[in-house]
A and B are shown apart, each in its own frame.
Chain A
Amino acid sequence: MGVLIGSAIAIFLVTAVVVNLVLVLRIPVRVMRRTMKLYPVNQWVFARPATARDRAIVRPSPDLHYSILCYDVSRGPLRLRASIPEGQYWSISGYSNRTDNFFIINDLQARSNPIEVVLVPKGARYLNATGKAHLVTAPSKQGIILIRTVITKRADLPRLREIQRRSTVELLEARG
């Protein structure tokens, strides 16, 4: 009977740990999948400054102008171009399908304006002919790209929106 009880306790503990860890590991993937379903794939979405009505993504900053792109590099690299407004904080960042922030480039680090970022799937190659592009390897085929621009004053919003709308995305041919 002692062996039976000991074995049952061991099975109980192992099951509890495994179930807990599996569920925890799935949370970021599920949250990202749910979030990405809200937006079109490989297409910029230009959000208005967040208000209390925005319930898609937790803890939005009301002081930032966001551009969101749900990327999918399964068919090849993506070339992203975006204009950077002068005089305020700006950044472009990438998040894998498990929420990791795998790259971040701000206005002070950008090699050019407009900035050019080429998102390359794992194992693929891209020839950076001009040398101006920021080459970034995507750790997952799907994920999110986010552009943040600080809104310094509300009167500046039309100018920021005009700059924001110049952002483009282009699917490139895969090699290798």
Chain B
Amino acid sequence: MLVWWIVAVVIAVAAGAAIGYLSVGPLLNLVTRLSTVKNGPWGTSLAAGSVSANPYLRAWIARHALLALRKEETIYFSAYTDEDGQPLRGECDYRIEGRAPDARWWSITAYGEDDFLIPNEQGRYSWGSTEIALDEEGRFTIYLSRTPKPGNWLPSGEARRLCLSLRLYNPGPVYYDRQSLKTVELPRIIREG
């Protein structure tokens, strides 16, 4: 009987350790998704960078958004899909359009699936409030595409999957309320082809 007990404990510990290890990535993504406030394709976590972040969110931030500022200073939105919920793909063309967000400074940056800037001949990785062209109503359009586009072109290079990051530095009060965060106007990401 003692042998059975030893075998059972060894198998239970080994299997538990394996499951504990293999579930790290999926659990990080799951817990982070649950603590994310969604607004269309954009999502943000108000606990990013904060001492109060739970261990899973903190670990996710360490892997995917190291050195993020806490919400009192900056709110970061990420988008991995377009308006229809389809993953952002490098071979597709997208139109990102919207009103300039209420923030002291803002920018939209494209990253590859490895969370780094996407190589392109133009050296163009983002558009921000300091240089983007706005129309008379204060609206902008960014074209995310492999091929050149007139105006605010954001090259997607050879990346397969894309991620967009919207940074709002010193944002207005509407971005600090969990409810209004879900409805405040954010740039739309429309697939064109």
Contact = CB atoms under 8 A, between A and B. Distances in A.
A62 B126 contact: yes
A154 B92 CA distance: 30
B185 interface: no
A101 to B, nearest CB: 4
A11 B51 contact: no
B10 to A, nearest CB: 10
Given A11-B16, A104-B73, A57 B67 contact: yes
A17 B51 CA distance: 23
B181 interface: no
Which secondary structure dominates chain A's binding surface? mixed
Interface in B111-148: 111, 115-120, 123, 125-126, 128, 130-131
A37 to B, nearest CB: 14
B24 A23 contact: yes
A98 B120 CA distance: 33
Interface in B165-193: 165, 167, 169-170
B151 interface: no
At the interface, is chain B mostly helix, strand, loop or mixed?
A: mixed
Contacts of A18: 20
B12 A9 contact: yes
B20 A17 contact: yes
A62 B67 CA distance: 15
B8 A8 contact: yes
Contacts of B67: 57, 95, 99, 101, 144, 146
Interface string A17-32: 1111101110110011
A24 B28 CA distance: 8
B3 to A, nearest CB: 11
Contacts of B58: 27-28, 98-100
Contacts of B126: 61-63
Interface in B18-35: 19-21, 23-24, 27-28
Nearest to B14: A15
Interface string A125-142: 000000000000000000
A164 to B, nearest CB: 17
B73 A106 contact: yes
A58 B73 contact: no
Contacts of B107: 61, 63
B37 interface: no
Contact of B105 (A8, A60, A89, A101): A89
Contacts of A91: 69, 73
A89 B117 contact: no
Interface stretch (A47-55, A78-86, A115-123, A166-174): A47-55
Contacts of A28: 58-59, 61-62
Contact of A8 (B9, B63, B66): B9
Given A25-B59, A146-B67, 6 more contacts: A8-B9, A11-B9, A20-B24, A58-B65, A62-B117, A104-B73
7 contacts: A11-B13, A24-B24, A24-B28, A59-B109, A63-B109, A63-B128, A150-B128
Interface of A: 4-5, 7-9, 11-21, 23-25, 27-28, 31-32, 35, 50-55, 57-63, 88-89, 91, 93, 95, 98-102, 104, 106, 144, 146, 150-153
